[in-house]
Amino acid sequence: MREKKIVSIIGGNGFIGKYLVNNLTKRNFYVNIISRNPHTYKKIQVQPKLGQISLKSCDIKDRSKLLLATKGSEYVFNLTGLLIDKKKNSFNNVHVLGTENLVSVAKENKVKRIIHLSAIGAAKDTLSKYSLTKYLGESNIKQFQDYLIIRPSIVYGDEDNFINLFAKMSQFSPILPLVGGGQTKFQPIWVEDLVKIIMLLSEKSNFKNKIVEIGGNQLVTFEQIIKFILKEIGLKRYLLKIPFSQAKKIAFFLEKMPKSILTRDQVEMLKKNNIMSKKNSYKNFINYNPQDLYEMLARQLILYKKGGGHYL
């Protein structure tokens, strides 16, 4: 292996990417942060060595730029993903065309391994466009000679768009909706635990061409998560249970807003539990005990409490 180990992270300036970058710099990797807006990257903990981090402006949909951006990389992490389908930045363009480009340039640049972030629920037989395109993206990644596909459940942490969304919403809304009655099950995983598990799997000898699902130790419903958020920040709100059929009608209008908080595709995704399967659980491959969900959420939600400081 070369003395200067270079890793490229597509989407490295995002929520998960920032933690992955810090983890890799601790291990003395030189990291290319590849993104449409790489200069929005903010360091969290690690002070890298001079030249250890390189910011590269590139869209995964642009093959020629991606070829140049990943040149010289031993490993490429792909963290790109969308939650809302738009014409200019669609699920198909990012999840499917993007992974086709990635595999093509990785072969040309003689990259050793691709570590690809997918999602629990990726499937061929689904009505969710998100889940289908995630599955098709996985199929593309499988065309590479050495890959690791990671499927996480809900990922939470200080900068997440899940726990923070509902904590903020509870500040001004007297009603919080529970799509499908709030009975969809999740296994939330703390972002730092997710990154540590990914690194342990990546460093495992003779471990390649696998699909691994990652979640926390606690299996909770959406309703239980919302109730815990409200309890921690000391608010009482009415929880409105909305059937999936009604939620889709509401989402039809909400998804047309500039900043949509719910789409019909997301309603479709909520019909299925977001939990690890026994077959693909990371616990089959490594020993790692994630942080307690409620303990970590309590720390995260301190800023939302009265007198707890500025809201995020």
Count of structural domains within the chain:
1
Mapping DSSP to helix (H, G, I), strand (E, B) and coil, where does residue 169 land?
helix
Residue 296 lies in a domain: no
pTM: 0.93
Residue 255 lies in a domain: no
Residue 189 lies in a domain: no
The full length of the chain comes to: 312
Of 114, 150, 123, the C-alpha closest to 285 is: 150
Q: What is the CATH number of the domain that holds 98?
A: 3.40.50.720
User: What is the largest distance, in Å, between two alpha-carbon atoms of the chain?
Assistant: 59
Amino acid at 302: I
Residue 243 lies in a domain: no
Residue span of the structural domain in which 17 resides: 6-152
Residue 38 lies in a domain: yes
DSSP per-residue string spanning 125-154:
S-S-HHHHHHHHHHHHHTTSSSEEEEEES-
Mind listing the pLDDT tens digit of every residue in the chain (312 residues)? 346 799 999 999 999 999 999 999 999 999 999 998 876 666 655 566 777 999 999 999 999 999 999 999 999 999 999 999 988 889 999 999 999 999 999 999 999 999 999 999 999 999 999 999 999 999 999 999 999 999 999 999 999 999 999 999 999 999 999 999 999 999 999 999 999 999 999 999 889 999 999 999 999 999 999 999 999 999 999 999 999 999 999 999 999 888 888 999 999 999 999 999 999 999 999 999 999 999 999 999 999 987 654 433
Task: Decide: residue 301, CB within 10 A, 0-12 exposed, 13-18 middle, 19+ buried.
Answer: buried
Task: Decide: residue 113, CB within 10 A, 0-12 exposed, 13-18 middle, 19+ buried.
Answer: buried
Residue 139 lies in a domain: yes
Residue 47 Rama label (left phi>0; alpha psi -120 to 50; beta): beta
Run of H or E residues at 82: none
Of 7, 26, 9, the C-alpha closest to 196 is: 26
Residue 216 lies in a domain: no
Residue 244 lies in a domain: no
